[in-house]
Amino acid sequence: MIVEPENEKTDGDNRQDTLQDQVEQGTDVEPAVSASPAIAKRASPFRSAKKDPARPLPAGQRVLLVFIIIVMVGVLVYYFSTNLGTGFGGSASGMSGTYAGTSTFCIASVLGGSPECGTSATPGIQIDSAGDVLGPVLFGKIDGNGSFGGEARAGDGTTFPMTGTFSNGTLTAEYESSSVTWTITLHKQ
């Protein structure tokens, strides 16, 4: 490669500064670069022989580029959170299995005192990879955000609407009214 100095014309005194003059004056100089005289004669019509220094992107293009990067990162986070388990809090995938835990049922006292509560074991609740909760006591669905909606069935066939959350391998479902409170907490076996 041959490095050739680039001449610069200045306004006013019609003086031409050569590469040597500019170096002596301490100014920044960018020499023009060409491969060889033979190659320079066959320059491509699609690009110029002289390259301009890269210019920064306009503000509008920078904002658009940042927006595209943020959207791409968001898509990746969504993909990993929905397809690789419950690492981001409550995704339904990766939690299938058999769950067991405790069930606490409280009935308000007729005389206005403390409620009467009983706690029992709740075994054999199945949760599949789609987030469906199937068991002898609790039925419902866990959505991709870890929210549970369904119902609990008492031994006498009475049903209670339940809401709750699935987080870090634990499902907590609750029902509360003025007279009854029922909480079911399940862990994977």
Q: Where are the domains of the chain?
A: 1-55, 97-188
* pLDDT number for residue 20: 54
pLDDT tens readout for residues 32-83 = 555 555 555 555 555 555 666 778 878 888 889 899 999 999 888 887 776 6
Q: pLDDT tens digit string along 126-148?
A: 999 888 999 889 999 999 888 99
Average of per-residue pLDDT across 107-129: 85
Specify the DSSP element, H or E, that contains 183. strand 180-188
Q: Can you tell me the distance from the alpha carbon of 168 to that of 79, in angstroms, rounded to the nearest whole number? A: 19
| Both tokens assigned to 42 | 């066959």
pLDDT score for 69 = 93
Handedness of CA 49, 52, 54, 57 (dihedral sign): negative
